């Protein structure tokens, strides 16, 4: 049996999500607020996949993101965080757009690095 949570299995409350979204809208519109939104995210303390695998496999990244979303929803219920999953492309994507070559170290939980600066002069 696959223990990967799905969006449906998280039992997200649509009314609560809308309340949180409206709080953010009101903040940006400069309306009076009952409280300033507080976003608390929760990281999975025991991820199934190391960082390298998550960066190289979108399905694994999705699984880890959904897991973290579920943890935040369950363990920090009085939170203003609007549930969302965003791709983590890291900080090296801009360098690769300019032709940089990446390298991975020996630690699978370390992000990649850039072999050489892609721009010599700006």
CB atoms under 10 Å from CB of 89, counted, come to 11
Nearest to 23 by CA among 41, 39, 11: 39
Q: Kindly indicate the confidence band of residue 1, based on its pLDDT and cuts at 50, 70 and 90.
A: very low
Band the pLDDT of 45: cuts 50, 70, 90.
very high
Q: How many whole angstroms separate alpha carbon 100 and alpha carbon 118? A: 5
User: Any idea which residue has 């979204």 for tokens?
Assistant: 21
For range 43-71, the mean pLDDT: 92
Confidence at 95, pLDDT banded by 50, 70, 90: confident
First to last CA, the chain: 54
């Amino acid at each position: 049996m696959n223990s990967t949570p799905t969006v449906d299995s998280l039992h997200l409350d649509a009314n609560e999500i809308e309340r949180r979204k409206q709080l953010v809208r009101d903040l940006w519109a400069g309306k009076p607020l009952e409280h300033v939104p507080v976003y608390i995210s929760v990281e999975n303390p025991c991820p199934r996949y190391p960082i390298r695998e998550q960066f190289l496999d979108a399905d694994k990244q999705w699984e880890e993101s959904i897991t973290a979303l579920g943890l935040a929803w369950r363990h920090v219920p009085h939170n203003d965080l609007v549930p969302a999953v965003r791709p983590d492309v890291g900080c090296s994507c801009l360098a690769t757009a300019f032709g940089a070559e990446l390298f991975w170290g020996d630690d699978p939980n370390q992000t990649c690095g850039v072999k050489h600066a892609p721009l010599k002069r700006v």
